[in-house]
Amino acid sequence: MADITKCRGDGCLIKEKCYRFTAKADEYQAYFLESPIKDGKCDMYWGARVHQEHLAGSNYKINKKDKNGH
């Protein structure tokens, strides 16, 4: 169950690596109305590493981009 806004992954090449796409949906799940990809970049990307840090209570920035702008 994910208490997050999920993404449907439309047009995303890395959706299988993003927690917003792969997380199990809740019964009343919120989704982005449109794909958050703008100019080939996604500010909403939530990689598995970031999710693991979140669960461990570590500090992180969800919008931190990698070298590819994701």
Paired tokens of 36: 């958050």
Q: Residue 23: inside a domain, yes or no? A: yes
Q: Is 15 helix (H, G, I), strand (E, B) or coil?
A: helix
Q: Residue 70: inside a domain, yes or no? A: no
Q: Residue 63: inside a domain, yes or no? A: no
Count of the separate structural domains present in the chain: 1
Q: What is the pLDDT of residues 5-36, one digit of tens each?
A: 999 999 899 899 999 999 999 899 999 999 89
Mean pLDDT estimate for the chain: 78
Q: Residue 36: inside a domain, yes or no? A: yes
Per the confidence metrics, is the pTM higher than 0.75? no
- Contact yes or no for 20/46 (Cβ under 8 A): yes
Q: Residue 37: inside a domain, yes or no? A: yes
Q: Residue 62: inside a domain, yes or no? A: no
Q: Is 38 helix (H, G, I), strand (E, B) or coil?
A: strand
| Residue-number span of the structural domain to which 51 is assigned | 5-56
Q: Residue 45: inside a domain, yes or no? A: yes
Q: Residue 18: inside a domain, yes or no? A: yes
